[in-house]
Amino acid sequence: MKKCKITVMRIAQYKDLISQYENPISHACHMELGQAFIANGWTRPEGFCQSAWDTLSPFVLALSHGGENFYGGWMKNPKSAMLSCNDGFRPVSFLVEALEEDAD
């Protein structure tokens, strides 16, 4: 099984939607641009957002077991996927890449 690197590539925030629909919250997301995590198969990396993990984990699992070319080869690197968390107010985009080394 391969390890996967998950890198925060973009953090968006839709202030118009937040002001119109969201109840006030103190801090919704702890991700930082450029932050990277290493996943060992199905195990969520420490400090990684549970909601984002729920979205990314099927791709991480597939990549860690050798899967590639999702959706007919939409990625230039077939052993990767560009995915976003499911937060409609402040989506975070992640690059998930299978690493060549095996997980312990």
Band of pLDDT at residue 32, cut at 50, 70 and 90: very high
pLDDT at position 102:
64
Ramachandran quadrant class, 86 (left: phi over 0; alpha: psi -120 to 50; beta: rest): alpha
pLDDT at position 103:
55
CA dihedral sign of residues 67, 73, 75, 78: positive
Band of pLDDT at residue 13, cut at 50, 70 and 90: very high
* pLDDT, tens digit (0-9, with 9 covering 90-100), for 37-75: 999 988 899 999 999 999 999 999 999 999 999 989 899
**Residue/partner pairs of 41-47 with CB below 8 Å, 24 or more apart:** 41/1, 41/65, 41/103, 45/6
pLDDT reading at 15 higher than 90: yes
